[in-house]
Amino acid sequence: MAPDIFLTTSSPEDTRNLGQKIGKIVTDGTIIALFGDLGSGKTTFAQGLAKGLGVPDDTYVTSPSYALINEYEGRCHLFHMDLYRITTPSELEDLGFDDIISGRGVVAIEWSERLPENVLSNSLSIHFDILGRETRSVSIFAYGLECKLLIKDIKKSA
Ligand SMILES: Nc1ncnc2c1ncn2[C@@H]1O[C@H](COP(=O)(O)OP(=O)(O)OP(=O)(O)O)[C@@H](O)[C@H]1O
Ligand SMILES: [Mg+2]
């Protein structure tokens, strides 16, 4: 299936700007599933996302690879998760994952390869591929009506 949006970024700043643009548009309850290899730009994107959600500039958004979940307060609450180290569904349960995704807040999830399929059925799924040292392709798939509508807004925003 072709992505709803396909683009390439040529610097970390470009990827952050894309995140920021999407952060300005998403609303409570949006699940943003991030896919892609180590160093492909998921955390970089999440930094922009936080900025777009109004998380203050002096709050440093870091990789949740050890904490597994970082939380930020902006226009909406942001849960930033990294599932790299998750190997079983019960570990996901221990994180309180079900409550997080069924509650308020925007949820951005790195290593969404580890997620059960059903979680993706209402999500913006964003795949990053490393094309070169500073180039990444970004493929965005919208699943579910609400996310399909978000795509229109993302395309409209400059
Ligand atoms: N176009 C680009 N977009 C994003 N990052 C880029 C780009 N070009 C170069 N980079 C660099 O690639 C790295 C991306 O790291 P980042 O932590 O965002 O990756 P990640 O996908 O979160 O990796 P991990 O799976 O380890 O969490 C950074 O060092 C960043 O500076
Ligand atoms: Mg990361």
Residue 55 in any domain: the answer is yes
The predicted structure's pLDDT at residue 64 = 87
Rounded to 5 degrees, φ, ψ at 27 are: -130, 170
Q: Report the nearest-CA residue for atom 7 of ligand 1.
A: 12
For residue 154, being part of any structural domain is answered with no
- Read off the pLDDT band of 128 (50, 70, 90): very high
Measured in Å, residue 110 CA sits from the centre of ligand 2 at 6
pTM above 0.95, yes or no: yes
92 CA distance to ligand 1 centroid (A)? 24
Task: Give the domain CATH number at 137.
Answer: 3.40.50.300
pLDDT of res. 158: 66
Would you tell me the crossing angle of helices 145-156 and 12-25 to the nearest 10 degrees? 120
Residue 152 lies in a domain: no
Starting at the earlier edge strand, list the strands of the sheet with 77-82: 5-9, 136-143, 123-130, 31-35, 106-110, 77-82, 69-73
Provide the domain count of the chain.
Answer: 1
Q: What is the pLDDT of residue 102?
A: 92
Question: Who contacts 150 (Cβ-Cβ below 8 Å, separation ≥6)?
Answer: 25, 26, 30, 124, 142
Write out the residue range of the structural domain in which residue 63 sits. 5-146
Would 103 be classed as within a structural domain? yes
SS3 string, 121-136, reads HHEEEEEEEECCCCCE
7-12 mean pLDDT: 98
pLDDT in tens, 42-92: 999 999 999 999 999 999 999 988 889 999 999 999 999 999 999 988 999
Q: What is the mean pLDDT of the chain?
A: 95
Give the pLDDT of residue 10.
98
With a Cβ cut-off of 6 Å, ligand 1 is lined by 9-12, 14-15, 36, 38-44, 63, 65, 110, 134-136
**How close is the Cα of 2 to the center of ligand 2, in Å?**
25
